């Protein structure tokens, strides 16, 4: 069976760590691509030199040549500017749109059968932009955020209770930011409701910390932003696609009537397989959850419209 080829665009911390995990897990041959001369090639060579120690056999290469996108089954877009202290995800809007838009067009031209997995912030708007510029069907353009937000929530709960993170189950929907929608009533620890272990006020504090999770790391690092957990989250999604597992994971997807929403890209549960999004899973929501999801969608929709106006309709 042929080894799939994955192109990772952007050889910064998230991109390079993603490439490392893809190689370690034996998921694909990986090509790192970055416009900075020597950056992708140097990191790829360093990764390749770890193969005898780690025992992986896949190829890891680095280049500035976007022609290396050809034959990619999955294109992961991490390229873009990282947040600095005090900077919101939306501050990055235009700058990163000018990076992601052309990449999506190149990917569509050079790897017309690929799935596009977007990681660049502001995430939901960048997914909408990549969908528009690639002209791919909505099943083959998605974004990574919900897996990360859910992982952060699970980690914070596990830290608070002193349990294994894998014992905590949760789901975070909505946009990647302040209006994310954690499904509080569905959180379980060891199969039992979190509300059996913690008072509502403390649960709300953990939910707020999740919403601030990225900013908390930015403030601590002072330079750069999170990359270990984001890369792990990307690779979980990549594994579901490359191995055709049909796993259900939260992902940013284009909606066309699901959850009563359309013309917006938003975090919802999706079933992932070789062709990307196989179906959008519609969970039963309370009126409050549905209203929160609609508010999140409206925020993203306004961002998409704002970008289109700033770029003269190009978004």
Residues 4 and 72: their CA atoms lie apart, in Å, by 7
pLDDT at 84 over 90: no
Is 63 part of any domain?
Answer: yes
Give the least confident one: 46-55, 65-74, 256-265, 298-307. Answer: 298-307
Is 232 part of any domain?
Answer: no
Please, which pLDDT band fits residue 83 given cuts at 50, 70 and 90?
Answer: low
Q: Would strands 29-33 and 60-63 be described as parallel, antiparallel, or unpaired?
A: parallel
pLDDT in tens, 232-263: 999 999 999 999 999 999 999 999 999 999 99
Q: What is the pLDDT of residue 10?
A: 98
Range of the domain at 35: 5-143
Is 100 part of any domain?
Answer: yes
Torsion sign across C-alpha atoms 286, 289, 291, 294:
negative
Q: What is the pLDDT of residue 88?
A: 63
Closest of 52, 13, 6, 14 to residue 30, by C-alpha: 6
Torsion of CA 158, 159, 164, 170, to 10 degrees: 20
What is the mean predicted confidence (pLDDT) over 263-280? 98
Is 54 part of any domain?
Answer: yes
What is the mean predicted confidence (pLDDT) over 10-25? 98
- Structure token pair of residue 266: 């938003």
Please, which pLDDT band fits residue 85 given cuts at 50, 70 and 90?
Answer: low
How many domains, in total, are found in the chain? 1
Please, which pLDDT band fits residue 93 given cuts at 50, 70 and 90?
Answer: confident
Is 128 part of any domain?
Answer: yes
Q: What is the pLDDT of residue 15?
A: 98
Is 78 part of any domain?
Answer: yes
Is 204 part of any domain?
Answer: no
Torsion sign across C-alpha atoms 130, 6, 24, 139:
positive
Q: What is the pLDDT of residue 82?
A: 73
pTM of the model: 0.95
Q: What is the pLDDT of residue 110?
A: 97
Q: What is the pLDDT of residue 308?
A: 84
Give the least confident one: 44-58, 69-83, 165-179, 271-285. Answer: 69-83
Closest of 165, 163, 158, 130 to residue 144, by C-alpha: 130
Residues 109 and 135: their CA atoms lie apart, in Å, by 10
Q: List, as one string, the DSSP characters of the chain.
A: -PPPEEEEE--SHHHHHHHHHHHHTT--EEEEE-SSTTHHHHHHHHHHHTHHHHT--S-EEEES-GGGGTT-SEEEE--SPPP-TT--GGGGHHHHHHHHHHHHHHHHHH-TTPEEEE-PSSHHHHHHHHHHHH---GGGEEE--HHHHHHHHHHHHHHHHT--GGGEE--EEE-SSTTEEE-GGG-EETTEEGGGTS-HHHHHHHHHHHHTHHHHHHHHHSSS---HHHHHHHHHHHHHHHTT--EEEEEEEEEESGGG-EEEEEEEEEEEETTEEEEE------HHHHHHHHHHHHHHHHHHHHHHHHTTT--
pLDDT in tens, 166-205: 999 999 999 998 999 999 999 999 999 999 999 999 999 9
Is 80 part of any domain?
Answer: yes
Q: Which positions are catalytic?
A: 176
Which CATH number belongs to the domain containing residue 132 in this structure?
3.40.50.720
In this structure, are residues 131 and 224 in contact, taking their beta carbons and an 8 Å threshold? Answer: no
Please, which pLDDT band fits residue 92 given cuts at 50, 70 and 90?
Answer: confident
Q: What is the pLDDT of residue 75?
A: 98
Mean pLDDT taken over the chain: 95
Instruction: Evaluate the omega torsion of the peptide bond into residue 122 and state whether it is cis, within 30 degrees of 0.
Output: yes
Please, which pLDDT band fits residue 301 given cuts at 50, 70 and 90?
Answer: very high
pLDDT in tens, 212-223: 999 999 999 988
pLDDT at 131 over 80: yes
Q: What is the pLDDT of residue 224?
A: 84
pLDDT above 70 as % of the chain: 96
Q: Would strands 168-169 and 192-193 be described as parallel, antiparallel, or unpaired?
A: unpaired
Q: What is the pLDDT of residue 250?
A: 98
Q: What is the pLDDT of residue 309?
A: 82
């Amino acid at each position: 069976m042929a080894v799939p080829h994955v192109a990772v665009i952007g050889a910064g911390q998230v991109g390079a760590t993603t490439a490392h995990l893809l190689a370690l897990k034996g998921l694909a041959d990986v090509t790192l691509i970055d416009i900075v001369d020597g950056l992708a090639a140097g990191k790829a060579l360093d990764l390749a030199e770890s193969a005898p120690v780690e025992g992986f056999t896949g190829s890891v290469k680095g280049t500035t040549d976007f022609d290396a996108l050809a034959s990619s089954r999955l294109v992961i877009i991490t390229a873009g500017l990282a947040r600095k202290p005090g900077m919101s995800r939306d501050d990055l809007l235009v700058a990163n749109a000018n990076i992601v838009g052309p990449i999506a067009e190149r990917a569509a031209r050079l790897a017309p059968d690929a799935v596009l997995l977007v990681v660049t912030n502001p995430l939901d708007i960048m997914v909408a932009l990549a969908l528009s510029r690639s002209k791919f069907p909505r099943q083959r353009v998605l974004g990574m955020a919900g897996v990360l937000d859910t992982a952060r929530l699970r980690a914070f709960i596990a830290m608070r209770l002193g349990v294994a993170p894998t014992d905590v189950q949760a789901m975070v929907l909505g946009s990647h930011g302040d209006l994310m929608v954690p499904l509080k009533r569905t959180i379980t620890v060891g199969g039992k409701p979190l509300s059996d272990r913690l008072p509502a006020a403390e649960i709300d504090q953990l939910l707020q910390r999740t919403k601030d999770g990225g900013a908390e790391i930015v403030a601590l690092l002072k330079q750069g932003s999170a990359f270990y957990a984001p890369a792990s989250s990307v690779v979980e999604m990549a594994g579901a696609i490359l191995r055709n597992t049909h796993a259900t994971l939260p992902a940013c997807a284009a909606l066309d009537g699901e959850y009563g929403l359309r013309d917006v890209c938003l975090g919802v549960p999706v079933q992932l397989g070789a062709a990307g999004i196989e179906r959008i899973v519609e969970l039963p929501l309370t009126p409050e959850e549905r209203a929160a999801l609609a508010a999140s969608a409206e925020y993203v929709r306004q961002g998409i419209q704002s970008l289109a106006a700033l770029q003269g309709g190009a978004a």
